[in-house]
Amino acid sequence: MRHHPLDPQLFVENRDRLRKLLPKNALVAVNANDVLPTNADGSLPLVANNDLFYLSGIEQEESLLVLAPDAADEKLREILFLREPSEHLKTWEGYKHSKDDATKISGVRTIKWLSEFPVVWRGLMCDADQVFLNTNEHKRAVVEVQTRDARFIEDCKRQYPLHAYRRLAPLMHKLRVVKSPREIEVLKEAIRITDAGFRRVCKAVRPGVAEYELEAEFAHEFVRNRAKFAYTPIIASGANACTLHYIANDQPCGAGDLLLMDVAANYGNYNADLTRTVPVDGKFTKRQRDIYNAVLRVMRASIKGATVGKLHRDWTRESQLMMNDELLKLGLITADDVKNAKPEEPASRKYFMHGLGHPLGLDVHDVGLMNEPFAAGCVLTVEPGIYIPDEKIGVRLENDIVVTENGPVDLMADIPVEADEIEALMKR
């Protein structure tokens, strides 16, 4: 792992939380992700399965966690199955977890090699009443390649056709959407590194610098802090900022333009998510500042509005109505536009066409129950924007917050965002 080891108590507590949601005599299996091929004999770096990581801290390929809370043999109530290390693997692929190391990482005491899995699994299946297996059930997921979990499900149903199979994903979503204090601390480290990257890049912004050069500055700061990009960085100058998912990052930054940077760090598999928009010249024009401050006011008000018990759709609707008022002041829409708009398509969507925010955590667009009220411990992004292609202006601002019983806490409150702060930072 690149990051410092995390406290294994985080994973112990997560498993305890899952156990409380399981019925009597339940059996759970969670697989690692596949190492995906590219071309010829190439492969992509392993992306950890976030459910497996959440429950064990394990990031190694072919790993498998089994939970059988009511197993007669206490040693079989939590089992991690791993690839067995060998001199061959050590020579060609490097370090693989020993049993002792896996216990130190996960807090799981029973570690077995994968060769032992079929016999152990059969014994547990014979005693299980319900079997919880995992799939990726994110509503926006595009699943075109069969996963390791999917193959595992097919094999189980072929060998044990009469068992009652259940979906693990809804339980994991319920757990993962509410972050524990230990998770918040890891997120704060990802945010600290993101802040350092943003401040570094602001020193390098000037007319003529290429977007990819600024991406390199972020990469330098992230890697030196044992982090990586949370997602493909968006570094969009001028009209490029009006493309919501612009990732080419290959154009020069022009004098007089704004530069939108949606870039953040991933640390310990937890993701920050930051967007800032800065003037390439180091100083906003009056028009740019007016648009910027309009977005900032909506972000500030939306942060305050993220309270326990509120529905995501109502929170988003509030931001759209606030944006209507701001766009009226900017002369971008008219009172008739507001009056004649359909409730599901407010006038503001012409210039603010995306959602207000999303759950954040082990996934950037984290899993969660989006149709349920915000609960204390939910971590959300807040990211309003205004995009005006005719003026080659795109402004988006984004902070990460945690919902608490005492009101929302802005986890990015120390990262400059006021227009004067941005100008002062770039001047230095």
In this structure, are strands 78-82 and 64-67 parallel, antiparallel, or unpaired?
A: antiparallel
**Catalytic site residue from 78, 189, 273, 410:** 273
Which of 357, 254, 368, 266 minimizes the C-alpha distance to 315?
Answer: 357
**Catalytic site residue from 211, 217, 383, 410:** 383
Residue 41 falls in the annotated catalytic set: yes
71 contact partners, CB below 8 Å, separation of at least 6: 77, 124, 127
CA distance 410 to 412: 5
Contact 97, 39 (CB under 8 A): no
Residue 387 falls in the annotated catalytic set: yes
CA distance 277 to 316: 21
**Catalytic site residue from 246, 270, 292, 387:** 387
Residue 262 falls in the annotated catalytic set: yes
Q: Output the CA–CA distances (angstroms, integers) from residue 359 to 306, 356, 368, in the order listed.
A: 12, 11, 7
CA atoms within 13 A on the CB side of 367: 19
**Catalytic site residue from 4, 167, 206, 245:** 245
Residue 354 falls in the annotated catalytic set: yes
**Catalytic site residue from 41, 87, 336, 344:** 41
In this structure, are strands 270-271 and 234-237 parallel, antiparallel, or unpaired?
A: unpaired
Tokens of 46: 């392993």
Active site residues: 41, 245, 262, 273, 354, 358, 365, 383, 387, 396, 398
